[in-house]
Chain A
């Protein structure tokens, strides 16, 4: 564009005169109560017309102080707190924490428990990605995918509920293994102590339905021209920015970052024997972030189908002391949460209660780049970018 003179008048090539009005910057407040902000995120945008010139995300409306609360709770009590960090993938939050405690104490979880943890983590991942893939089109104006994908997701929630007793907050992990399944009332209390009967059949059924959901989403959303126009080349994040901002999970893999902690941290969960691919894409735009998640659902279905056929027999929990004291030391363990790197840094002083727990959650770092990506965007593109980052405010604020 040619240089504007002081009156905002510019000569154009055909000899005519065009006037570019330089608008006055206006501050637009979005949220904290706004449907596109996934909860209580507040965005303070400085806009020039429809274009954003500066964006300040204001977080903290969901801050529950989990790090402080962890300092006054025993290790087994903390799992109840932390599966509420990212409530769309409750089970996956527990894994890194419980593995960190196990490594500090030197308690080896049983192989059966590890495989059950793996299956439930992957089920959680499919469920999380289905929530994303169906609610994201809603933000772009398409309501039908939400109904379709949620219908199929319900089968996964049923499986998780039948094993753990809870749909969203399983609190299922114990140091050394997993909790024996809940009985259905007093009479059954001692009967069903392991995976519920019909578990394998219901997992197979849920996987078939999840695959169906992927096919439907592909037909309804992926090939949809309007969705593509709204998301392609919108909110591009480069490889360098992704790693410098600490963006992890599908958001990073859409920018070509090959990190997948399921491959890099083989002693957290036994992924080593399972055949699956790490999905990466190159463009780093909103559409790629959507595509990575759809492809990851299919990979997770592959993992679950292999894993349910190789659950070893044996006890659900290793021998553990009744009062769990964790030897002094500090440790950081990270695991691949559906949203990215979820890790816990634990400082123990040898007691029943940790001295300090630092919670590294994926969404916190993932949305910290918003103030950079949003500059120059139109307001509707901001909604498209924000939605594609798939964050949960509980995971941001902790």
Chain B
């Protein structure tokens, strides 16, 4: 469902108010999803403020996005040559009693991939941070037990980095010759005809 104008304004107002509460300056509210950006230094204090002032008690998830110029699999980012290489760490928090929710976001330099652990604030962050640490190679100082969650200890590399090759695609490139690569047209079709 596309947002009607009134909904968008309401969401904008909520995002602005929430950002003020946790001392953040930059926020977006597109597609019904609120992102509030904080500096890496304020990551922990912002999370505490989000829990106490913002009343977002429910910890939903924490993960990262790798913005990389080197892409081993998948489609590269838009304007990849001028891309600023970085990790974006995202943490979704919501309320257990109403529909308030934000994604707390911060940007990390690739050389300094370290971020305070949120485990002391939200106990549920422990596993999510372990996953993010092994999959992206981001360190979380303050985490009580930052060992691999999925991967064996001897595993080399960080699988969700864009530079990490996907074995299946190395062996067999994609799209193959039976794929939907060149379709006759991009015009709209009626329901049911396309199958």
**A interface, CB within 8 angstroms of B:** 59-60, 63, 65, 67-69, 71-72, 74, 102-104, 106, 108, 110, 176-177, 179-180, 193, 240-241, 243-248, 252, 257-259, 264-265, 267, 315-323, 328-334, 341, 343, 345, 347, 349-353, 355-356, 358, 360, 364-365, 368-369, 372, 397
Q: What's the minimum C-beta distance from B176 to chain A, rounded to whole angstroms? A: 12
Q: What's the minimum C-beta distance from B34 to chain A, rounded to whole angstroms? A: 9
List the B side residues contacting A257 at CB < 8 Å.
96
Q: What's the minimum C-beta distance from B84 to chain A, rounded to whole angstroms? A: 15
List the B side residues contacting A108 at CB < 8 Å.
1-2
A360 touches B75 (CB 8 A): no
Q: Looking at chain B's contact residues, is the secondary structure mostly helix, strand, loop, or mixed?
A: loop
Instruction: Give the A-B contact count at a CB cut-off of 8 A.
Output: 160
Size of the B side of the interface (Cβ < 8 Å), in residues, is: 55
B159 touches A65 (CB 8 A): yes
What is the CA–CA distance of A321 and B184 in the complex, to the nearest angstrom? Answer: 12
What is the CA–CA distance of A352 and B74 in the complex, to the nearest angstrom? Answer: 10
List the A side residues contacting B122 at CB < 8 Å.
244-246
List the B side residues contacting A345 at CB < 8 Å.
61, 63, 90, 92, 103
What is the CA–CA distance of A329 and B76 in the complex, to the nearest angstrom? Answer: 14
**A318-B191, A332-B103 are known contacts. Are A72 and B61 too (CB-CB below 8 A)?**
no
**A320-B188, A321-B188 are known contacts. Are A397 and B180 too (CB-CB below 8 A)?**
no
What is the CA–CA distance of A364 and B74 in the complex, to the nearest angstrom? Answer: 26
What is the CA–CA distance of A352 and B183 in the complex, to the nearest angstrom? Answer: 13
* Chain A binder among B10-18, B25-33, B37-45, B108-116: B25-33
A246 touches B124 (CB 8 A): yes
What is the CA–CA distance of A240 and B149 in the complex, to the nearest angstrom? Answer: 25
Q: Mark interface residues in B78-101 (1 if CB within 8 Å of A CB, else 0).
A: 100000000000101000111100
Residue B160 lies at the interface, judged by CB distance under 8 Å to chain A? yes
**A264-B99, A331-B32, A351-B75 are known contacts. Are A243 and B58 too (CB-CB below 8 A)?**
yes
Inter-chain pairs besides A63-B150, A69-B166, A102-B1, 10 sampled, C-beta below 8 Å:
A68-B159, A71-B73, A241-B123, A244-B59, A245-B122, A317-B192, A343-B61, A349-B78, A358-B63, A360-B60
Q: What's the minimum C-beta distance from B79 to chain A, rounded to whole angstroms? A: 9
List the B side residues contacting A322 at CB < 8 Å.
183-187, 189, 194
What is the CA–CA distance of A301 and B124 in the complex, to the nearest angstrom? Answer: 33
Q: Which residue of B lies closest to A360 (CB)?
A: B61
**A68-B159, A397-B150 are known contacts. Are A259 and B195 too (CB-CB below 8 A)?**
no
Q: Which residue of B lies closest to A76 (CB)?
A: B180
What is the CA–CA distance of A104 and B30 in the complex, to the nearest angstrom? Answer: 9
Taking a contact as CB atoms closer than 8 A, the residue among B76, B78, B123 that contacts A328 in the complex is: B78
What is the CA–CA distance of A193 and B188 in the complex, to the nearest angstrom? Answer: 20
B150 touches A59 (CB 8 A): yes
What is the CA–CA distance of A328 and B76 in the complex, to the nearest angstrom? Answer: 12
List the B side residues contacting A267 at CB < 8 Å.
1, 32
**A345-B90, A355-B74 are known contacts. Are A68 and B188 too (CB-CB below 8 A)?**
no
Q: Which residue of A lies closest to B65 (CB)?
A: A356
**A246-B124, A259-B96, A365-B124 are known contacts. Are A329 and B31 too (CB-CB below 8 A)?**
yes
A332 touches B33 (CB 8 A): yes
List the A side residues contacting B57 at CB < 8 Å.
240, 243-244
A353 touches B97 (CB 8 A): no
A353 touches B188 (CB 8 A): no
Q: Which residue of A lies closest to B76 (CB)?
A: A349
